[in-house]
Amino acid sequence: MRKIFFMYFALVVGISPLIAQENCKVEDEIPLRLMSQELKRSINTFKKLRPSVYYLSYTYEDKQQTNLSVKQDGLDNEQNYYSRLEAFARAGSPKMDNTRPLKRESNYDRKFIFKFNYASPLAEDATFFKLSLWRSAQNIAEAAQEEFARVQTDSRAAATRQDDSDDFVLPPVSHYCHTQETVRFDTDKIGQMLRKASELTRGLSFIKDSRFGLSIEQGHRYFADSQGTQLKTPFLFVRLDYHISNQLLDGTELSRSKTYDVVRQDQLPSEEQLLADVKQSIKELEMLTNSPEADPITVPTILKNRAMGVFVHEVLGHRLEGHRQKQDSFGKTFTSKIGQTVTAPFVSVVDDATLTLFNGQPLRGFYEYDDEGVKARPVTLIENGVLRGFLMSSSPIEGFPVSNGHGRASFGELPVARMGNTRLIASKTVSYSELEKQLLQEIRSQNKPYGYIIEDLSGGFTMTESSMPQTFKLEPKLVYRMYPDGRKEVVHGADIVGTPLVSFGQIIAAADDDAVFNGTCGAESGWIPVSAISPSVLLKSLEIEKTAKNDNKPPILPSPYSLPKGGKK
Amino acid sequence: MKRFLIYLFIICFPLAATAATRPDNVYFRAMNDEMQRSLQQLHLKDHPNPYFVSYWIFHNHRWTILADMGALAPDVYNQPDDGDIVINAFLSVGSDKQDGLGFVENDQYPRWQYATQLPKKYDVPLGYESLRQALWTATDRAYLQAAKLYQQKKSYKKKKNIQDNLPDVMPTSPGHFVEEIPPFVSPDMPQLRKQIEQISALGKKYDFLESFEVYVRGGQQDWYFLNSRGAFAQYATKEIIVFLTAVFRQPNGKIAEVYKSVLLRDTSDEELARVKQKAQNFLSQVERARVAKSGSAYVGPVLLKPKAAARFLDQTLLSDLQNSKPFLLNFSDDDATAGKLYKKRDLRVSTDLLTVYDRPNQRSFDGFELDGFFPIDGEGVKAEDLTLVQDGYVKEFPLTQRPLAKNHRSNGHARIMDVYGPRERLTSVFVEPKYALTDQEMEDKLRARCRELGLEYGYILSESYPSSDLGIERIYTKDGHKETILNLDWDSSFTARDLRAVLAVGGTQELVTDANLVTPSILLQEAELVPVEHKPHRQPFIARPK
């Protein structure tokens, strides 16, 4: 079973503030020079091998990472510098190569990328970096030949492919160099602010644990391939966040959290603002702790803007990724629906990874070139309710022969088509208060006992393999019931479930309150930063089911940090 | 005078121990507060309360340097002050007469001790609350597990009709060991990095090498221990070790990765010069091994250098001196991990050419800190030095508070290993010869034995696992010349009987860090070496870059 996750709290966090601007020369960049030299030295020999290794690429990444973490009164401040190298090879030909998914065997143990976890080209002499390039190319070329042999056998023995498009389209040659200066933050000052915030969780019996953190990741990515492409692009992800949690006696886990994605220190919340937000989250956690549990039901529901962003990502976005239209192991929900109406006529969806900001808020789904060296560009997926396109990597599909710059992967993974900044645009909107009125009308006209407002959710997953039901599940963290008399009540333990075609067709109205959800998406090509932008939306009907519970009881004694202040130390 | 000092030590040490007062710092305050709360309030309905709690807090400080072929790796591998804080909670329910320990529910998850981890840089001493929180989490999980195992053990004993005459625990007086913990100080990193970078650059002279990695790991571990019987300990240990790893292709294409570890006393220029010399020797050895021929099957005398001797001693003696009290296993009637020698008390088990000691109180050997230094054991009992084997007979065994006989008394050798509860374990083992021979005399004796048997050559093994492309030398009977040999391994089915077939023991002791063992070379009357086959690898598609 393949699940695709969209997470609020993830291993890699942050946003990209960078404005695309070429400001250096690729020929001056040592890593690019060394990688290109080795590619030139090897590719002609590699092409003559049998089977031919017809394409090679290197990615080198240097990264500075700072993590500040406060738990209770302890503060951890960790700073690291990484430099990593990966090599990728294609054996066979673009028509059929080693990357083709196997039909009759598992694809989980396949080796596409060779990684060196340390390989700095900036040492006084570059002997080791050159050796690393040579060793990694040799290693991955051998692996590519072995994989290609598996593909050949599999393609002869397996059932015919529905979409027999080529495995690869050679990307256009690009040269681009963008250097970004290191951005600095006063971590001492931020640490003190986080400590004060953590202090607010002391002495509260309904808080089992808490964490307050700041994460900064910045650096550059260098890409060179045997076609001659040479790219240097920067990345910067900065996030301040916190998470407070509780567990009920029946195992239900409750939490409140908040993130602030910024690019400069002056964009971080002020201490006053942070403390106010934490107080509000504490209040919400207390309300959740004392709230009733939700029951399974199908009712009209408002998905607030950021929650709707996740809904778009999970329910629609993953199913519009190119490779999911090609491989027969996927459900292909939308493959044959190009030109057909799939949602309300006032709804359009685009994915534009070139956007850096939305309403002043940085978008972490921004990038200049994708992980296959293809320039990012905006893609219209749905126009006025009609399906128009797919997200494409360099693996073509019927009717979509080239990449549109969405081949993405985390370090060490094989790129596939993934989202960047996905945006739902409503051409007909109302104010949010009007949307709530429309919800009330729906509740009454459908004669339902109540409706739901999904205020916040932590993420979710969707299943896209044909062997599994084509369903999705989203995990709300703050949910209100709205009764026919307009009264609102917090409940806990409500998950959203459904199938994509039905659920996306349920949109009946949208508000004018577009907002951004910055997150990290996990799928077969690893964890990547993404953004989803959406207004709040009213769905005619949505199915709610109970949340899974933890089988373990909460700890027998209360957290020592929850004991009244001034206790024994 | 010497005798006087020893007596003085014996008299004074207990006084010092009893006089020791528990340190008043954030670690002990956090441990004590959570321990008292747990003993008084931790209770699960219809289950016994905890009656014994102990905590270990390890505050680990580490620094690392990594360089390969003259290039320093990025900062993540070059840390001046990395590490973590590990908090272990160990808890027992019931009573001394019957508790839940010594019973294993299944072989997948034999868990008695619970650990939580904090990043090292949590700024203790301000982190009292973080430590409390971590202790709380670990204690809660340990209690639930202990309560479950207590019930299961009770049912198991009933089912198997086991009626013990002995209690589960025979308490011994709590031990105390307190030393001031020195603040951790990183070495001069820029200078040291440069030196390590230079050592790794030695690899560039060998054009067959694909990688020559020099990785240095140093650090300090601060130990804080408290248990509910009143035992406590506080001290620090240090270690610096260098790992040399070379990757190369043999002429037949086989990719070989060989390594050597070198202990350092400190980071002085003298010690680094020694590492550089060892690295140079290692690379010369690799160069010879690369073109060496493969060995064929051999039966005859073999000289085991200290590392190889350590593996032999572990197989034939040391593992069977430990874990004397078998666990009650829910899934088997026989505890295969239990040492077998306890039942062979007063029988001759070994050659009389060597004497074996266990010395938990010895801190260092030849200036190198010993991993086995363990003044207070996992049950809070002061550890005693032991004579394990003398004149071929087992004299003493490591013992815990879990009795093996009516007159049982712990000698402070309970070690809580990983997820296992306290078991009888060795600490730092010392093997000493009865008649010490020089290295040359050992080789002469090997050749003499080969001559007696009409063998053209004998073998010298210098690594624990010689099949790893290094560490096997053939010595010719006639003229004593040596030749590196590849692709042989010893038949590892040595038994205690082989320990009685030792021909000679060398006089030069060496510390084998992986085994916590100080041993000289051992000459075996007979051992079997078998060829190891490796499939060669293809040659690279293009030549190594210049």
Q: Tell me the pLDDT tens digit for each residue of B487-505.
A: 888 776 788 888 999 999 9
Do B121 and A128 make contact, defined as CB atoms within 8 angstroms? no
Q: Specify whether B170 is located in the same domain as B245.
A: yes
pLDDT at A137: 95
**Cβ-proximal residues to A364 (8 Å cutoff; 6+ apart), any chain:** A14, A15, A16, A237, A261, A518, A519, A529, A530, A531
pLDDT at B256: 85
Do B130 and A82 make contact, defined as CB atoms within 8 angstroms? no
pLDDT at A5: 46
Token pair for residue A5? 């996750």
B123 touches chain A (CB under 8 A): yes
Q: Kindly tell me if the per-residue pLDDT of B16 is higher than 80.
A: no
pLDDT at A15: 40
Q: Specify whether B312 is located in the same domain as B195.
A: no
Token pair for residue B268? 């002085």
Q: Specify whether B232 is located in the same domain as B308.
A: no
Dihedral sign, Cα of residue A271, residue A276, residue A277, residue A281: positive
Mean pLDDT of B285-306: 92
Q: Specify whether B440 is located in the same domain as B331.
A: yes
Q: What is the pLDDT of residues B346-363, one digit of tens each?
A: 888 899 999 999 999 999
pLDDT at B114: 65
- Asked if the structure places residue B6 within a domain, the reply is no
Residues of A with Cβ-Cβ distance to B131 under 8 angstroms? 74
Do A131 and B210 make contact, defined as CB atoms within 8 angstroms? yes
**Among all residues of chain B, which has the CA nearest to that of A124?**
B71
Q: Specify whether B245 is located in the same domain as B303.
A: no
Please name the amino acid found at residue B26.
V
pLDDT at B15: 35
pLDDT at A569: 39
Residues of B with Cβ-Cβ distance to A569 under 8 angstroms? 29, 33, 128
- Asked if the structure places residue B100 within a domain, the reply is yes
Token pair for residue B346? 């007063």
Q: Specify whether B420 is located in the same domain as B321.
A: yes
pLDDT at B111: 60
pLDDT at B84: 84
Token pair for residue A481? 């019931």
Which residue, chain included where needed, has tokens 């429309």?
A438
Q: Specify whether B307 is located in the same domain as B222.
A: no
Residues of A with Cβ-Cβ distance to B144 under 8 angstroms? 556
Q: What is the pLDDT of residues A362-421, one digit of tens each?
A: 999 999 999 999 999 999 999 999 999 999 999 999 999 999 999 999 998 999 999 999
DSSP state of B180: P
Q: Specify whether B345 is located in the same domain as B245.
A: no
pLDDT at A74: 84
A411 touches chain B (CB under 8 A): no
Give the residue among A394, A35, A68 at the shortest CA–CA distance from A221.
Answer: A35
pLDDT at A207: 95
The reply to whether the predicted model has a pTM over 0.90 is: no
Overall residue count recorded for chain A in this entry: 569
Cβ proximity of B158 and B151 under 8 Å: no
Give the residue among B342, B350, B318 at the shortest CA–CA distance from B516.
Answer: B318
Overall residue count recorded for chain B in this entry: 546
A434 to A115, A430, A511, B57, B270: CA distances (angstroms): 54, 6, 8, 58, 80
Mean pLDDT of B284-308: 92
pLDDT at B65: 92
**Among all residues of chain A, which has the CA nearest to that of B27?**
A569
A520 to A46, A108, A186, A409, A413: CA distances (angstroms): 37, 22, 25, 12, 15
Which residue, chain included where needed, has tokens 């593992």?
B319
pLDDT < 50 stretches in chain A: 1-17, 567-569
Burial of residue B129 (CB within 10 Å: 0-12, 13-18, 19+) is: buried
Q: Kindly tell me if the per-residue pLDDT of B221 is higher than 90.
A: yes
pLDDT at B538: 83
A85 touches chain B (CB under 8 A): no
Give the residue among A172, A190, A186, A161 at the shortest CA–CA distance from A69.
Answer: A190
Q: Specify whether B230 is located in the same domain as B105.
A: yes
Please name the member of A77, A124, A560 whose beta carbon is closest to the beta carbon of B136: A560
3-state secondary structure B384-433: CCEEEEECCEECCCCCCCCCCCCCCCCCCCEEECCCCCEEECCCCEEEEE
Q: What is the pLDDT of residues A65-102, one digit of tens each?
A: 999 999 888 888 888 888 889 999 999 999 999 999 99
Distance separating alpha carbons of residues B160 and B168, to the nearest angstrom:
17
> Chain A window 362-391: which residues touch B at a Cβ cutoff of 8 Å?
none
- Asked if the structure places residue B271 within a domain, the reply is no
Residues of B with Cβ-Cβ distance to A71 under 8 angstroms? 118, 122, 130, 133
Q: What is the pLDDT of residues B226-266, one digit of tens each?
A: 999 999 999 999 999 999 999 998 877 788 888 899 999 99
Q: How many CB pairs under 8 A join A and B?
A: 141
3-state secondary structure of B18: helix
Cβ proximity of A44 and A135 under 8 Å: no
Q: Specify whether B331 is located in the same domain as B472.
A: yes
- Asked if the structure places residue B289 within a domain, the reply is no
Domain CATH for B110: 3.30.2290
Please name the member of B42, B136, B542 whose beta carbon is closest to the beta carbon of A42: B542
Domain's final residue, options B249, B283, B304 = B249
Domain's final residue, options B249, B278, B305 = B249
Do B118 and A45 make contact, defined as CB atoms within 8 angstroms? no
- Asked if the structure places residue B153 within a domain, the reply is yes
| Structural domains in chain B (count) | 2
Do A74 and B545 make contact, defined as CB atoms within 8 angstroms? no
Q: What is the pLDDT of residues B158-209, one digit of tens each?
A: 999 988 789 999 999 999 999 999 999 889 999 999 999 999 999 999 999 9
Dihedral sign, Cα of residue B518, residue B521, residue B523, residue B527: positive
pLDDT at B14: 36
- Asked if the structure places residue B307 within a domain, the reply is yes
Burial of residue B276 (CB within 10 Å: 0-12, 13-18, 19+) is: middle
pLDDT at B546: 80
pLDDT at A388: 97
End-to-end CA distance of chain A: 50
CB burial readout B501-535, b (16+ within 10 A) else e: ebbbbbeebbbbbebbbbbbbbbbbebebbeeebe
Give the residue among A79, A63, A122 at the shortest CA–CA distance from B79.
Answer: A79
- Asked if the structure places residue B517 within a domain, the reply is yes
Residue of higher predicted confidence among B122 and B12: B122
A30 touches chain B (CB under 8 A): no
Provide the pLDDT confidence category of residue B10 given band limits of 50, 70 and 90.
Answer: very low
Provide the pLDDT confidence category of residue B29 given band limits of 50, 70 and 90.
Answer: very high
Strand order in B354-358's β-sheet? B393-394, B386-390, B354-358, B429-433, B517-519, B510-512
Residues pairing with A63 in the sheet: A82, A219
Q: How far is CA B49 from the centre of its chain?
A: 35
**Among all residues of chain B, which has the CA nearest to that of A139?**
B540
Torsion of CA B282, B287, B293, B297, to 10 degrees: 10
Cβ proximity of B458 and B477 under 8 Å: yes
Report H helices in A160-217. Answer: 187-199
Token pair for residue B361? 């109180």
A56 touches chain B (CB under 8 A): no
pLDDT at B398: 96
Q: Specify whether B298 is located in the same domain as B243.
A: no
Token pair for residue B285? 């050895």
- Asked if the structure places residue B265 within a domain, the reply is no
Provide the pLDDT confidence category of residue B344 given band limits of 50, 70 and 90.
Answer: confident
Is the bond into B125 cis (omega within 30 degrees of 0)? yes
Task: Give residue B467's domain range.
Answer: 294-534
Q: Quick count: other Cβ atoms within 10 Å of Cβ A295?
A: 12
Cβ proximity of A368 and A375 under 8 Å: yes
CB burial readout B341-356, b (16+ within 10 A) else e: bbeeeeeebbbebbbb
Please name the member of A76, A133, A559 whose beta carbon is closest to the beta carbon of B136: A559
Q: Specify whether B317 is located in the same domain as B446.
A: yes
Mean pLDDT of B52-81: 85
pLDDT at B467: 55
